[in-house]
Structure 1
Amino acid sequence: MVLARCAALAALLLGLAGFAGDAAAASRKGGELVGSLNLNTATAEQLALLPGVGPATARRIIEMRQKRPFQRPWEIIRVKGIGPAFFRKHKERLKVDGPTDLAWMEVRRGQTTLSAAR
């Protein structure tokens, strides 16, 4: 399973994976979220990949970072509608520097499908 996730993530990063469906569809079907998200540079679509973040919350995150960039991932709790429970759930995926490579991975019999915001 770990090897399959690494291979799928590498394919995503190299742009070799074909994207089928949207992130919400993958999550509803029991997909697994892989990768990490830079709170300071992620697009609204990338932010919405996180369970519990919709368009309004994504917009608030972007507005907050424009006023004052995040220095540490836990500062996400400054955003209205996001609390400590959200941070604890997603803290391994959140970062404040580097690229965003967050994607939903859905594993079906004999194949791996990745869904990500473009």
Structure 2
Amino acid sequence: MLAAILTALRNNSNAKQSSAQTIVLWGTELLTDTLEQLSIDVVGERSQFVLHLALTYKMVVCAVIASMVAGRMAHIPRKPVLIGTDVIRRLSALCLPLVSEAWQIYVQILVSQSPSPRHSRR
């Protein structure tokens, strides 16, 4: 199995795709962890409720909304879409210090998680 993976990564296109997906995954998880810590700071003792609801919301966003967006954007060239989604995610991350209420955490998840599945489209 390892030999098959290494063979696939010798192809320049596959190597670029794999590295891009790895970077996006790290960024997504870092942003999610930051939102988790932020929920503790913002709502205090209710943070478990907010966090569970936020992570459920994240799964719904990734499974439903992002899939619908992906279907609508299938005809658009891939590179500009990926660059646009990265810009959206970075702008979302820059807005994190401005979050002061629980509803803003949910909006952050919507904005930051919707672009995630775009990087795994073939």
**Fold shared by both chains (TM-score > 0.5):** no
Scaled by the length of structure 1, what TM-score is found?
0.26
Scaled by the length of structure 2, what TM-score is found?
0.25
Which is bigger in relative contact order (C-alpha 8 A, separation at least 6)?
A: 1
- Which protein is richer in helix relative to its size? 2
